[in-house]
Amino acid sequence: MPLKGNINHSIVFWCFNVAGEQWDMDRTCEVAKQLGVRSIELSDPDTWPTIKKHGLTSAIAMNGMPGLPFVKGLNNPRYHDEVIACTKKTIDACADFGIPSVIAFTGYKWRDAEEPTSGEISPAEGADHCVKALKELAPYAEQKGVTICLEHLNTRDDSHPMKGHPGYQGDDVDYVATICRRVGSPRVKMLFDLYHVQIMNGDLIRRIEQCKDVIGHVHTAGNPGRGELDENQEINFPACLRKLVEIGYKGWVGHEFIPTRDPVAGLKQAVTVCDV
């Protein structure tokens, strides 16, 4: 499928590996090539050789934490050793394979991240802990040429564990952007997910402008429901993508929706709608 070349499209593997037809990596790569997409992202390292075999790349990797990696994060010093070690290990793997970025998370706000009755880490305290950990990671990322992208997630949708994340501390886009700016490294940016930002903050085009100095990666999905980018959802994706082009964003746009119908048709629609 011929594309305009202004947007670097990427397919988020987990969405199509765990839902619907449950594609394997070969199938995902075949669909990507049919659509003119050059990247498959957020897959396990053991799938990366398959991506390379198909002549594709991967735009961003997960940080290697077991389970749900967004639960135990940088805001909680009790997890710093584990999170920093896992992130450095993933940075090494990304550098070796040529993957430009790795995701990081603030983590949940509870002092025991898996126990809401354990008391809360204040937003200011959580931000300070995130900055401290990211300042430790930043020189390593700079040395390896890999960008750490701190992700903003929504806490409002409690209908599905991958549609919303009640308890996540980094649920305000300005909060996450400020953390990144405080670190002051060109290798620490934010993951600007249009779906999550729409739910928590809205005003997407203005937010893109305000965060243009720290946007390192972008995700899409329709809201509400984290489904296809179709007429049943509320985000004006062409306008948002045109704004990304206007600010000079040259990174990747990963399509991270959960299919509710034919996944190939949904991906074709996403790429077409966002290819401004």
Residues 109-163 have pLDDT tens digits of: 999 999 999 999 999 999 999 999 999 999 999 999 999 999 999 999 999 989 9
Phi, psi (deg, nearest 5) at residue 164: -160, 165
| Residue 31 near residue 40 (C-beta atoms within 8 A) | no
Say whether pLDDT at 19 is over 90. Answer: no
Domain assignment present for residue 3? The answer is: no
| Residue 154 near residue 196 (C-beta atoms within 8 A) | yes
Domain assignment present for residue 207? The answer is: yes
Query: For the residues of 192-241, what is the DSSP string, one character each?
Result: EEHHHHHHHT--HHHHHHHTTTTEEEEEE-BTTTTB-SSTTS---HHHHH
Query: How far is residue 255's CA from residue 148's CA, in Å, rounded to a whole number?
Result: 19
| Residue 254 near residue 220 (C-beta atoms within 8 A) | yes
167: domain range?
Answer: 8-269
CATH code, 189: 3.20.20.150
Report the pLDDT averaged over residues 233-240: 98
Report the pLDDT averaged over residues 98-114: 97
Other beta carbons within 10 angstroms of residue 154's beta carbon come to 22
Domain assignment present for residue 274? The answer is: no
| Residue 129 near residue 135 (C-beta atoms within 8 A) | no
Residue 209: closest CA among 179, 149, 153, 249: 249
pLDDT at residue 65 in the model: 85
Phi, psi (deg, nearest 5) at residue 41: -120, 165
pLDDT at residue 66 in the model: 82
pLDDT at residue 203 in the model: 97
Domain assignment present for residue 151? The answer is: yes
Say whether pLDDT at 102 is over 80. Answer: yes
Domain assignment present for residue 275? The answer is: no
Report the pLDDT averaged over residues 224-233: 97
Q: Report the chain's mean pLDDT, rounded to a whole number.
A: 96
Say whether pLDDT at 20 is over 70. Answer: no
Residues 47-81 have pLDDT tens digits of: 999 999 999 999 999 998 888 899 999 999 999 99
Domain assignment present for residue 276? The answer is: no
Q: What element of type H or E holds 11?
A: strand 8-12
Domain assignment present for residue 2? The answer is: no
Query: For the residues of 108-151, what is the DSSP string, one character each?
Result: BSEEETTEEEEEE--HHHHHHHHHHHHHHHHHHHHHHT-EEEEE
Report the pLDDT averaged over residues 190-205: 98
Domain count, the chain: 1
pLDDT at residue 75 in the model: 98
Q: Which residues pair with 112 in a beta bridge?
A: 115
